[in-house]
Structure 1
Amino acid sequence: MTGSPLVQLYCKKLAPSNLDGFLHAEPDHVGWKVNLAKASHDDLSRAAEAGAAMTRRLSSLGIISVFLLHPSTDAARMMALLDALRPDIFMASAERDVGTLMAVKASGLVGGVMVPVGIPVARNSLTTYDPVEEARRYAAVADWFTTDTITEADTPDRFGCSGRTSDWPALRAVVDAVSKPVVAAGGFTPGNVADLWRTCRPAGFDAHTSVCTDGLPDRAKSCAFATAVRALS
């Protein structure tokens, strides 16, 4: 890999009203989430309207939109919302299955939408969970992978956004084992991205906890994170 890794900023509460908190960092990707399990029809309609507005604005600035649907298990409902949103990238949530993701990718409704898959990486190497095996299981459907930390309180179908780092040798094993790009997430800050970069070369770095304040995008924090990532080469 040559050049600096990409910068991906994520916020669960991202909305048109607070999007500017990320834009000054000039990220490569910006992501947000809709909870399908809890959303009513009206909730989804409002989410689609807000998401489409953000996608259009990001696109006008040359920023790629990443849309996380949780859970990623209802193909028909997912495709209806993705058809309304038309994001550049659909991020599969931790609660997913290969068959549903294959159906979404094969659908003409969302043709051309890329699908990264999140891979949980434990906080220490003593766990019996194998992130490389999980990545290989989704290799046929994933356009790339995003790793994130699975803590002792998490499960393989519910993890991420803890702000805690994972076992970096295990993260490196994923980067080395798959042919698809890997975006590294899990407790990354301006102060530690260079440390992982010396260990392996992910395609990019994702941040949520370290670039938000009170759950909302923070301009200063996101700019500091983007600057640190772009200093890598």
Structure 2
Amino acid sequence: MDFNDVLHQRRSIRAFSDRPVAPETLDALLADALASPSWSNTQPYRVAVATGEQVERLRRVLSERFARVATLQRAPAWKKLAAAVRGGVLPDGDFKPILKYPADLQPRRVATGHGLYQTLGIARSDHAARDAQMARNFSFFDAPVAMFIFAHKGLGAYSALDAGIFLQSLMLSATNRGLGTCAQGALALWRSPLEAEFEIPKDYQLLCGLSLGYPADEVVNTYRPDRRTLDELVLSNRT
């Protein structure tokens, strides 16, 4: 594909078909992403790739944890904490993907969520449907492949920067090969299920997850949020 076509066709896919992704295709995507630049060529990131029975186990475990946490949301604060600790569902990730958005960024977050739910026909008052859509994150939107991106804590923000560049290269390579992706901060909520599946070096922190596969022909995949204008993006000169 033409580079501009790849760049502009990439979008977050939230419904995948059951078509499997060949191992050699996965290897090719990762090899493409390794061409990404990084700080002093340190390449401070590692990737865990789950397919087959392994991805099914993680789909089940993460979905169960989210369902239990969602149930706790309606309980008093002290019961939430006690039940979460006892039930082993307290988030144990390296970062907090759930945070308060800065005032200048919150409107874009709200508009993106509104646009997604509008595309899906989910009313603002339909909390059950909204919860169900959120839960789809933890089943990887039915994708046959789930990847988890880890960044070396030794370089701080620059590890995350390099991992982000690597992730963009990976997503563009996938788009070029007819695949779809969805990068998901929500998949960084729990590290322990990944520790049970992969040998993760102690200095690497779980940054995010990535669902990958062939897009399904569903309306949710038509949604694309707007982007900043150039005037909004480029800082003004002092006068």
Same fold (TM over 0.5): no
TM bucket, shorter chain: under 0.3
Name the structure, 1 or 2, with higher relative contact order (CA <8 Å, separation 6+).
2
> Which structure would you say has the larger Rg?
2
More helix per residue: 2
- Using the size of structure 2 for normalisation, the TM-score is 0.24
